[in-house]
Structure 1
């Protein structure tokens, strides 16, 4: 059994790799209008382009086996982007009592694997709202193409999450909600977040590495090359077809 380091030690170890995310309130209508105007001025996906993907994971205590699995599979996202364009990934995770952190942009799978290997899971409630707020900020600041979230629970006011998801929908940033297990409350919220953002919801079985690998590959293809790249992948990868079938609003 892992014994987590004390908080001060953990902050020191991660200070050069990740930073805490602040609480972010929902935007006013004028803020959203400004966000949308800036987002519309950004260049769309193009072949050989530069994609940016936010990779967000629930790192609460129940998630350790899946965290280790995601660590092993993350390189597949970078490999999928080869031939489409380049891909940068920003790792976001939450755990413990109100801890939610974000890494810098990472373009190398080995570097991301090293970072993930330093992080252990800790008990706590979900903080999906912070993930969505951070994604909204990054949509304007760095032009992220998509968000991937991997989790198994939702313990927040669902209307608040839907409001944040709606803002991402206006910015045309789809969120791929990948749910482990069969929690009904989580499924209802995850499906609605995906719908409001023009993304997609998919379930994978606990410990099913092959299912999660396909889902991550499909999300990476979209981030690097947009819908066209996802359509090409769908000819060989079933999960890509499932995502496409739900993405009614994404560009």
Structure 2
């Protein structure tokens, strides 16, 4: 039998690095190149690592998802499916929900548990969902990757063929995990962006931009920018989308 390639682990990460302006610009440029959404309805998979190291960020995500609903709801309907993994082989997906109260109740009932990553299950679920009904974007938030990179890369490529971009938000500074997440984003036609505690507001702005773009395209982002003049991330995004 051929020798199996070692899995990549990101649990022993070095000190996190803050996102640079160049990295944010690259992320927004990739988002700007996505096909424009023509209807005022979007479907977004919100996937999170819920292993033990992620409790603080999970709590932040409860508030972030509310912002995604709020901003996207100004221009149309947003449906979100929550997917998370934790513990020993536990990976769960919610039904599609269209209100922040429902999703908040789901998220606040979850507590992070020690375990290994299960990104393969997340990507397989995304393929299944978009095959049944078009999904506009997959957001993944995590800090580690302990699975076979080629297997995950193949699944990311399948999502790219289905027109489902993955937005890989990487917490922490592990360079090996960074390389893997960048590859998954590229293969799916999405984008990669690092963040840490010091970039919490930046993460909120970027996630809100993804949600608004998924629902209403460029026009929605123009309106969003006008109502949120301090949203520098959105302004950078608009500057890169053709009229």
What TM-score, normalized to structure 1? 0.74
Contact 1:51 1:88 in 2 (8 A): yes
1:70 counterpart residue number:
61
Structure 2 SS opposite 1:149: strand
Q: How does 1:165-204 map to 2 (within 5 A)?
A: 165-204=156-195
Shift of 1:220: 0.6
Contact 1:181 1:206 in 2 (8 A): no
Over 3 Å off, 4+ runs: 226-247
Is the counterpart of residue 80 in structure 1 residue 45 in structure 2? no
Structure 1 SS opposite 2:96: strand
After superposition, the Cα gap between the structure-2 partners of 1:242 and 1:131, relative to the gap in structure 1 and judged at 3 Å, is farther
Which whole-Å CA distance do the structure 1 matches of 2:89 and 2:212 have between them? 32
Which whole-Å CA distance do the structure 1 matches of 2:209 and 2:186 have between them? 17
Contact 1:200 1:243 in 2 (8 A): no
* Number of residues of Structure 1 aligned to a counterpart in Structure 2: 203
1:140 counterpart residue number:
131
Q: How does 1:1-251 map to 2 (within 5 A)?
A: 45-47=37-39, 49-206=40-197, 208-226=199-217, 229-230=220-221, 237-240=231-234
The two structures, once aligned, show a CA RMSD in angstroms of 2.4
My pick for the range that moved more, 166-175 or 235-244, is 235-244
Shift of 1:85: 1.3
Which whole-Å CA distance do the structure 2 matches of 1:117 and 1:129 have between them? 24
Higher relative contact order (CA 8 A, sep 6+): 2
Q: Which runs of 5+ in 2 are unaligned?
A: 1-35
Which whole-Å CA distance do the structure 1 matches of 2:169 and 2:62 have between them? 15
Shift of 1:224: 1.0
Structure 2 SS opposite 1:104: coil
Which whole-Å CA distance do the structure 2 matches of 1:244 and 1:191 have between them? 23
Q: Which runs of 5+ in 1 are unaligned?
A: 1-43
Structure 1 SS opposite 2:153: helix
Contact 1:75 1:109 in 2 (8 A): yes
Contact 1:200 1:246 in 2 (8 A): no
Contact 1:65 1:207 in 2 (8 A): no
Shift of 1:142: 2.1
